[in-house]
Structure formats: structure tokens, C-alpha cells
Amino acid sequence: MTGGDPAVPVRIGAMVRRLDDGRVLSHDPGLVLPLASVGKVLLLGEVARRLAAGTLAPDQRVELLDEDRALGGTGLLGLLSPRRWTVADLTTAVAAVSDNAATNALLRLVTLAAVQHLARASGLRATTVHDRIRATRGPGVPPTFATGTAHDLCALLADVAAGTWQSPRASDLLRGWLAGNTDRSLVADSIRHDPWSTGGVRVANKTGTDTGVRADAGIVVGPHTVVYAVVAAFPPGAERVAVAELRRWGTAVDRLAGGHRSANS
């Protein structure tokens, strides 16, 4: 499977991998691109690792600072009155609505260095978080929150899906948080998922949206288990083309997971 319209300068890094038979579809899976909020998977991973190890408690309270609440962008906590939230609250907010205030609060708690170490320890060659979330980026700060490759993200999610990443408990926590994501508008838009039916296709994913970036990475469980990561970087005016490209890859994910009649072909 290749990229979309060559006349439109949208850069795509994509990989889809079916775990039971190893079938792979990809396009430039080693291309390093900005990940936007998909990078928050690594932050959630470090929190999951600590909770599973017992070095962090889910009911530990963390204070939101004024600078967290002033971030804007995605999320709800900065608009609500409480200033202190539990770790469990913050992880839910990051996973479900990509909450920026919660992201920065958790980054302060576990440290950016620890998240970067986790990325390296997980075998990710070119995927990491560079900085906290900022309302604006100027001189002297990293140009983007996180960068990475579709190959790295699929490798990580394959381990999480199998329960072999860090520990079974850590894998289960991370997978559960991603299942609570409310954004199914990109790759998952083309996946016929139905979490409420017995035996239905289920999606656990994280999306990312920033200027010139749309990204989606996740685990799909159906007749087959599939992991995927698709990242699009594009110039102004090409957003619709980029989103259409992610959804086109979603059709391939749907087919490999068994949501399509020709899934075994």
C-alpha cells in the first residue's frame, strides 16, 4: 500500500501489522515525523509502568498550575474548578480527551527524562517526547512535542497488545486507557468497530492533531488483532487530503482485523 495523490505534498509514514500471521502493510514506516499528541502514549506508558510496579499510587493527588490551566487546546481540566486531581483522573483525561493540562501535570510528576528513558528502554529507535505541551513555541525550546516513526509505534503497540511490554499489568493499564479514547475521527473512522457487541471489533487508540500534523496509532481487536500507526505531515491547505489518507489506511486496518469480508485474503 502506498501514499495518496502525488500532486499533494503530504508526507505519510504508515504501518499496519496483523499479529497472528505477521502480515504487514506499510509506507515509509521509518520516516521520522512530528507525532503531536500520539506522543502522549509514552507518557501514559511511564505512568502505567510505575502504577504496575507500585511506585506510584492511582489516588495520589497532583496540582494543576496556572500555566497548565492557561494552555488551551485539547482537554477539559483547565476549564473546571478543581485544582487537584488524582493520577487516575489525569491519565483518564489524557487518554480520553488528550487533555493538555493533565499531560503537563503528569510530565512534572514522572519527569520528561523518565519518559525519554522509557522510550529507549522499549527499543524505540527514533520515537520520543521532546518537551512539555506549550501554547506557543519559539526560540530556545524544542520545535515540537514529540517525533517518531510508524515502525516504532507499531512495535510498541504490538508488545502492549500481547501483554509483553514492561509487565502484563502495565500493558493492561495502557491498553485500557487507550480504549477510552473518544476520538475516532482519523484512521478509526474507517474501522467498523462495535465495543458493545459480543465479539465485535474493538479499538484502543491515540490520535494527534497539530498544525500540519494528523496522526493515529492503535490496537484493533476483532477476528484478528492488528496494530497500526499512520502519521501525516502536510503544508497549509492540505488537511482534508491528509485526513482522507489516514481514513484510507483505516480501511486497510479494518480489512486485516476482519471487519471486512475479504479480511483473510
Distances (CA, A) of 188 to 219, 238, 256: 10, 20, 13
- DSSP H or E run through 244: helix 239-257
Q: Would the pLDDT of 263 be above 60?
A: no
Per DSSP, which regions of 35-185 are E strands?
61-63, 84-86, 128-129, 146-148
Q: What is the pLDDT of residue 229?
A: 98
User: What is the CB-side half-sphere exposure of residue 111 using CA atoms within 13 A?
Assistant: 4
Q: Which residue has the higher pLDDT, 258 or 144?
A: 144
Question: Per residue in 74-114, pLDDT tens?
Answer: 889 988 989 999 999 999 999 999 999 999 999 999 999 99
Task: Provide, for the chain, the percentages of residues in helix, strand and coil under a 3-state DSSP scheme, each rounded to the nearest 5.
Answer: 40, 20, 40
- Give the predicted TM-score (pTM) of the model: 0.93
Q: Would the pLDDT of 2 be above 80?
A: no
- DSSP H or E run through 239: helix 239-257
Q: Of 216, 183, 207, 200, give the one whose Cα is nearest residue 259.
A: 200
pLDDT band at 265 (very low <50, low <70, confident <90, very high): very low
- Beta pairing, strands 33-34 & 146-148: antiparallel
Bridge partners of residue 146, in order along the sequence: 129
Q: What is the pLDDT of residue 7?
A: 62
Give the whole-angstrom CA distance, residue 53 versus residue 116.
18
Delineate the domains of the chain, giving CATH numbers in brackets: 11-257 (3.40.710.10)
Bridge partners of residue 227, in order along the sequence: 17, 219
Give the whole-angstrom CA distance, residue 76 versus residue 69.
9
Q: Would the pLDDT of 260 be above 60?
A: no
